[in-house]
Amino acid sequence: MEKFFINGQVPLNGEVKISGAKNAAVAIIPAVILSDGVCRIENIPNINDVTLMAHILEQMGACVKMINKSTFEIDARNVHSHVASFNFVRNMRASCYLLGALLGRFHKASVALPGGCDFGVRPIDQHLKGFSALGAANSVESGLVNVTAKKLVGDTVYMDVVSVGATINIILAAVKAEGTTVIENAAKEPHIVDLANFLNSMGAEISGAGTDSIKIKGVDHLNGTTYSIIPDQIEAGTYMVAAAATGGDVTVKNVIPKHLEAITAKLQEIGIDVQEFDESIRVCSDGTFNKCNVKTMPHPGFPTDMQPQITALLSMANGTSIVNENVWDNRFRYTDELSRFGSKISVDGKIAVIEGVPELVGTSVRAMDLRAGAAMIIAGLAAYGTTVIEDINHIERGYENIVEKLTGLGADIKKVYEPEEEPVLSSIIS
Ligand code: EPU
C-alpha cells in the first residue's frame, strides 16, 4: 500500500504552477464524442480521473493520442457504442457526462450509475429532468441509466437545485438538438464556462455560461478544435491554504485570480496576506489565524471542494469557527480523521464547530476522499512531528504531482510503498 509520510512544521516557500482543471477536463473529454473532427486539448491535468476518462473513450472506439503529458488529441468519430457499462465507469462520478454526450450524438445512451467521492446521496434527477425536457425517455434498470429519444428538441429547463453535473449534461445533450434550449437556475462554476467555450470553439452556439441562464441554440455539426483548459481553481486554493497553514510565503502561478475570489476573501478574513497579480496569487502567512465562519455555496460562493482544507486551517485558529456545508449532505466524515491531529471539531448534520487549538500533532490518518485527503496533507504539513496518510489513491485522482509540487516548496513529504501487514495468527485464534 502506498502512503504519504510528512514531517510537518516546515513553512512552504517559493512558486508552484497550477495544472489544468480536473472538473473541466472530465467534462470536456467526453464532450469530444459530439465532434465531427479531431480535438486537440491542451493543459490537461495528468491525474487518474483524466486517464480513466480517456480510457473509457478509447474502450468505446475513440482514438486518444497523448501528444505530451498535458496535451491529448482525441478523434471520437469511431465511437461505436452508446453503452458505458459498470466496469468502465464505477470509479468516477464524471462518467455520468457520457449520458449527455452519447444522447446528443446517438439519441440514446446507457451508462451505469456512477461512483466517485461518497458524501451522501448523489441523485441525478435534475439530469434526467433536463433530458426529458428535450424529449428523451429514461429508465433505470439493474444500475444502468438508459435515455433514448427519437429526436431531441430544445426547451426551457428550470432546475430545482443548482447542479454542476446536470447543467453540464443538459448542455451536452442540447448542443446538437433542434431549436433552442434554455437552462434556468444553471450552475455558474468556471468549468461550466470552460465547457461552453470549448463547445463554442467547435461551432456550438452557447451563450450565458457563467450566469444562471444558459441559452443553447442547437447546431447540426461540431468541428474539431484546439483548446486549452482553464487552471484548476481547487488545486490553486489547496496550495493557498497549505501556504497559509504552514506560515509560508508561496506564489501560486498559472491561475485566474477571479476564480479564487471567495477563497482569497476567506483567507484575508483569517488574517492571511493575499496579493493578486494577473495570473498568479501570493500568499504570505505568519502562522497565526483568526477564527471565521464559512458557508459553502455554489459558485461564486465559497466552494464545497475547499471545505475540508479550510476546516483543517481553522482547527489552528484563535477561537471557535463554524463551517456550514450547504452543498452536500454528508461532507464532514473526514473530521474524525482530522481529530486525530488533536483538532477539536464537533459536527451536527451540515454544521461543524471548530474550536481552534494552538498546535496539531502528527498522526496516522486515512484520506476518506479527494478533498478530505487534501485536508489531511494540509494538517500534516502544519502539524508537529510525522504524519502518515493512507488511501492516497483518492488524492492522486485529482492532484497532479502533489509530492513533487510540495517538495518544490520545501515540504518534507514522501510517497512510500509499504507492504500490507499480515494478520498475526495468534490474534485470529484468540
Ligand atoms: N443534486 C440533486 N439532483 C441532481 C444533481 C445534484 O439533488 O440531479 C444535488 C446534490 O445532491 C448536491 C447538489 O445538488 O447536494 C450539488 O450537486 P452537483 O450536481 O452540483 O455536484 P456534481 O456535479 O455531482 C460537481 C463536482 C464536485 C463538486 C460539486 C459541487 C465534478 C466532476 N464534480 O459534482 O467535485 O463537489 O460539483 O460543486 O465536477 C471534487 O472535485 O472533489 C468534487 C467532488
Asked if residue 164 has its Cβ within 6 Å of ligand 1, the reply is yes
Report the SS3 class of residue 66: strand
Angle between helices 164-174 and 22-31 (to 10 degrees): 20
How much is the pLDDT for 122? 79
Show Cβ contacts of residue 183 under 8 Å, excluding neighbours closer than 6 positions: 130, 157, 159, 167, 170, 171, 213, 214, 216
302-330 per-position pLDDT tens digit: 999 999 999 999 999 999 999 999 999 99
65 C-alpha to center of ligand 1: Å? 30
How much is the pLDDT for 309? 98
Q: Please calculate the CA angle 7-13-18 and round it to the nearest 5 degrees.
A: 100
How much is the pLDDT for 424? 57
**Cα–Cα distance for residue pair 312/289, rounded to 1 Å:** 12
Which of the following is catalytic: 39, 63, 96, 117?
117
Asked if residue 192 has its Cβ within 6 Å of ligand 1, the reply is no
How much is the pLDDT for 429? 44
Tell me the best of 124, 140, 163 to mutate to test the pocket of ligand 1, counting ligand atoms within 8 Å of each CB and taking the most: 163
Q: Cβ(227)–Cβ(39) under 8 Å?
A: yes
- Which spans in 5-151 are helix H? 22-31, 48-59, 86-89, 97-106, 125-133
Tell me the best of 113, 121, 122 to mutate to test the pocket of ligand 1, counting ligand atoms within 8 Å of each CB and taking the most: 122
Going by CA atoms, what residue is nearest to atom 36 of ligand 1?
A: 305
Closest by CA to 224, choosing from 341, 106, 62, is 62
Asked if residue 26 has its Cβ within 6 Å of ligand 1, the reply is yes
**Cα–Cα distance for residue pair 320/408, rounded to 1 Å:** 33
134-188 per-position pLDDT tens digit: 999 999 888 889 999 999 999 999 999 999 999 999 999 999 999 999 999 999 9
Closest by CA to 352, choosing from 373, 338, 340, is 338
417 C-alpha to center of ligand 1: Å? 33
Show Cβ contacts of residue 79 under 8 Å, excluding neighbours closer than 6 positions: 33, 57, 60, 61, 62, 105
Show Cβ contacts of residue 9 under 8 Å, excluding neighbours closer than 6 positions: 246, 382, 383, 384
Which atom number of ligand 1 is nearest to the Cα of residue 187? 20
- The edge-to-edge listing of strands for the beta sheet with 205-207 is 156-158, 180-184, 213-217, 205-207
Helix (H) or strand (E) holding 157: strand 156-158
Q: Residue 360: how many CB atoms within 10 A of its CB? A: 26
**Cα–Cα distance for residue pair 224/261, rounded to 1 Å:** 33
Phi, psi angle pair for 138, to nearest 5°: -135, 155
**Is there a catalytic annotation at residue 39?**
no
Report the SS3 class of residue 116: coil
Q: Which three cell numbers stand for residue 101?
A: 454526450
102 C-alpha to center of ligand 1: Å? 20
Asked if residue 161 has its Cβ within 6 Å of ligand 1, the reply is yes
Asked if residue 370 has its Cβ within 6 Å of ligand 1, the reply is yes
| Environment class of 187 (CB within 10 Å of its CB; exposed 0-12, middle 13-18, buried 19+) | buried
163 C-alpha to center of ligand 1: Å? 6
Asked if residue 264 has its Cβ within 6 Å of ligand 1, the reply is no
Going by CA atoms, what residue is nearest to atom 2 of ligand 1?
A: 123
Report the SS3 class of residue 48: helix
Indicate the pairing of strand 205-207 with strand 213-217.
antiparallel
How much is the pLDDT for 141? 87
Residue 58: half-sphere exposure toward Cβ, Cα within 13 Å: 12
What is the pTM for the complete model shown?
0.96
Closest by CA to 124, choosing from 135, 134, 112, is 112
Which atom number of ligand 1 is nearest to the Cα of residue 164? 20
**Cα–Cα distance for residue pair 323/352, rounded to 1 Å:** 5
Tell me the best of 92, 97, 161, 334 to mutate to test the pocket of ligand 1, counting ligand atoms within 8 Å of each CB and taking the most: 161
Residue where the block lists cell 496535451: 71
In order along its 430 residues, the chain shows pLDDT tens digits of 899 999 999 999 999 999 999 999 999 999 999 999 999 999 999 998 899 899 999 999 999 999 999 999 999 999 989 998 777 777 677 789 999 999 999 999 999 886 655 666 678 999 999 999 999 999 988 888 999 999 999 999 999 999 999 999 999 999 999 999 999 999 999 999 999 999 999 999 999 999 999 999 999 999 999 999 999 999 999 999 999 999 999 999 999 999 999 999 999 999 999 999 999 999 999 999 999 999 999 999 999 999 999 999 999 999 999 999 999 999 999 999 999 999 999 999 999 999 999 999 999 999 999 999 999 999 999 999 999 999 999 999 999 999 999 999 999 999 999 887 765 555 444 3
Going by CA atoms, what residue is nearest to atom 35 of ligand 1?
A: 305
**Cα–Cα distance for residue pair 95/89, rounded to 1 Å:** 6
Angle between helices 125-133 and 97-106 (to 10 degrees): 20
327 C-alpha to center of ligand 1: Å? 8
